[in-house]
Chain A
Amino acid sequence: MSAVLTWVLGPVSPDESPFRRNLRMFFSSRLSTVSTLMVFGFVLLAIAAPLVAPHDPNETDLFRRLQPPAWIEGGEWSFLLGCDALGRDILSRIIYGSRISIFIGAFVIFVATTIGILAGLAAGYLRGWVDIAISRLVDILLGFPYLIFAIALIAMMGPGLQNILLALIYKEWVMPCRVVRGETLAAREVEYVEAARALGGSSRHIMLREILPNILSPVIVVATIRMAHVIILEASLSFLGLGIQPPTASWGSMVADGRSYMLEAWWVSTFPGFAILILVLAINVAGQGLRDAFDPKFHD
């Protein structure tokens, strides 16, 4: 294997930490690099939306109702991707909509992963009734279909950004929790954990300082891949009208808006749909690349 590694990465210096080596392996794949750049591109777009967007995303103009994209007859170059049924610029709405998708994806994953790590460490390391309580809760939550669960929660709490975040976090922490618990079960039997115990380390110290740094790689991989799922879920909720409420732009609700004009004005639904597709695809490919580079099972 080391011969292959040398061939791919150039000489492997013994001073390089495993993390740096994995990172180098990740960026040695062109596909991973490109998709990572694309994800960062979307993030930049979301942050710089007011600077980048050509028009106000909520400005309506009934004279431009269902105006086609620029390259089709009747289009204008200043409204590159055309306009929707209220005459709002689709490109600007896509750019602003990326804020919702990326913010919800990142926030839900961040909070859910933090909860999942803590719960998983506690279940896997402390065992006993803590493990039973957490694992049964995880099993119960896994029994519900995700979307139906989220729809039910939002139906109870009402739509709105905060409630969407809650509805998604309620279940999302289960995934990292299971991964962390499994990894912790394996790691708690390792010699260095026993050595830490023999040196008088507390449970908290062992969980957070000894075990966590060693199981972080799979958690990062899972979080990346799950982020794509969360973005799709948010789009689904918005499509069903349970997500971000109008007039705020969200990719899911934009697709829903264009549904009724699919035949005469295909661009209204299609471009936000492409945006979802490209972002999710880029995150998934980057996540795959991360897994290939960081999971030792894929090294051989």
Chain B
Amino acid sequence: MNEVRPILEIHDLVTRFATRYGVVTAVDGVDLTLQRGECLGIVGESGSGKSVTFASVMGLVHKPGWIDRGSISFEGRELVGLDRLAYRALRGRDIAMTMQDALTALNPALTVGTQITEVILAHGENLPAGRRQRRRWAREQAVEMMRMVGIPSAEMRLDEYPHQFSGGMRQRMMIAIALACRPKLLIADEPTTALDVTIQAQVLELIADIRRELGMSVVLITHDLGVVAEYCDRVAVMYAGQVVETGRTREVIDAPAHPYTQGLLASIPKLSHLNERIRPIDGQVPELIDLPPGCRFQSRCIHAMAGCEAPQQVRDGGDGHGVRCHLAVTGEAS
């Protein structure tokens, strides 16, 4: 990594939600850095706060949720507390996000062409003068974008409705819409969960290709460590609202230091050890209300010992590989 300023810096982000059972701290002190052109993988199970972290980045945390403290800076610009209009201009143009479920994220009542050209017309720069010229220009842009994501006969399919598209094609369309204004940062929230395996690989390859082509930074939110290993430069593992381990993908996967990451890796079936049983992690993610101050994983951790009930700090091994576990430093867990 060179020394230029990172495109996205999240520091000590806390996002909470008021529920009838109490205040849920969905994101609790997350620190993340994303360099220009880099692909960062965010891994964690449901409820680990990975989606809420990036909803916070997009300014899409609504009542009863709020950002309690921390800072999010995009290209050096503070996003927490940014006014509504400035945020709206930023969304879609500089930062774009694709939603978890491609099958429902397209409006069923509008043609895909309308949906993509509206984004282009809303955010595009150097629009030609004249309504008609603008429309034609937006259509050309849309067709180009659809070609880029590999939708065949884009010109014709522009006037079709989402229900006429297959699942994979809808996901491509979502990506085309997200990329329509060539954003600097793409947040892909579980881009492949709704798709079958063969299409998953195609979509991920597509994101990787476009990233190289446009020099864009990508955040890939997923619960699949295999996807991260294949496509991401760096990875952050989240658990119960905190980042428990972060570092270069190779280092984290080859030498996981946090017991939770180790557990995650151990629960992936391996082709070379087919007759071995998968070792799942016992127990469940704790309730996010009234969490004890200590390590959040201790109730499920096979290494739990005295000292785990104290608050855990992220310790950096010096090479950007940070771990939120006191055992990692003494080396007992790894």
Q: Which A residues have a C-beta under 8 Å from some C-beta of B?
A: 14-15, 17-18, 190-192, 194-202, 205, 209-210, 213-214, 216
Contact = CB atoms under 8 A, between A and B. Distances in A.
Contacts of A199: 91-92, 96, 119, 122, 177-178
B118 interface: yes
Interface string B85-113: 00011111100111111001111111000
Contacts of A210: 107, 110
Contact of A192 (B58, B97, B100, B105): B105
Q: Which 4 A-B pairs have the closest CB atoms?
A: A200-B92, A213-B109, A199-B92, A200-B91
A199 B109 CA distance: 18
16 contacts: A192-B104, A192-B108, A194-B105, A195-B99, A196-B107, A198-B96, A199-B91, A200-B91, A200-B93, A200-B119, A201-B92, A201-B122, A209-B118, A213-B107, A213-B110, A214-B108
Contact of A200 (B89, B101, B109, B174): B89
Contact of B107 (A15, A192, A197, A200): A192
A18 B163 contact: yes
Contact of B99 (A198, A201, A202, A214): A198
Contacts of B164: 14-15
Contacts of A190: 104
Given A15-B164, A200-B93, 13 more contacts: A15-B160, A17-B161, A18-B108, A18-B163, A192-B104, A192-B107, A195-B105, A195-B106, A200-B90, A200-B123, A210-B107, A213-B107, A214-B107
A191 B99 CA distance: 7
Contacts of A202: 88
Contacts of A14: 164
Contacts of A200: 88-93, 119, 122-123
Given A199-B119, A199-B178, A200-B123, A192 B91 contact: no
Interface string B154-170: 00000011011000000
Interface residues of B, number: 32
B105 A197 contact: no
Interface of B: 58, 60, 88-93, 96-101, 104-110, 118-119, 122-123, 160-161, 163-164, 174, 177-178
A185 to B, nearest CB: 14
B60 A197 contact: yes
- Helix, strand, loop or mixed for chain A's interface? helix
B104 A198 contact: no
Contacts of B106: 192, 195
Contact of A198 (B91, B108, B161): B91
A197 B109 contact: no
A121 to B, nearest CB: 15
Contacts of B110: 209-210, 213
A197 B110 CA distance: 16
Q: Which of A17, A18, A200 has the most CB of B within 10 A?
A: A200
A205 B98 CA distance: 19
A18 B164 CA distance: 11
Nearest to B100: A191
Nearest to A217: B109
A102 B96 CA distance: 50
Contacts of B118: 201, 205, 209
A23 to B, nearest CB: 15
B308 to A, nearest CB: 38
A204 B108 CA distance: 19
B104 to A, nearest CB: 4
A59 B97 CA distance: 72
B173 to A, nearest CB: 11
Nearest to A128: B63
Contacts of B93: 200
A198 B90 CA distance: 10
Contacts of B174: 195
B104 A191 contact: yes
A198 B55 CA distance: 9
B193 to A, nearest CB: 13
Nearest to A19: B109
Q: Which of A15, A199, A202, A216 has the most CB of B within 10 A?
A: A199
Contacts of B88: 200-202
B91 A197 contact: yes
Nearest to B93: A200
Contacts of B178: 199
A209 B118 CA distance: 10
B161 to A, nearest CB: 6
Nearest to B107: A192
A189 B226 CA distance: 31
Contact of B60 (A194, A205, A216): A194
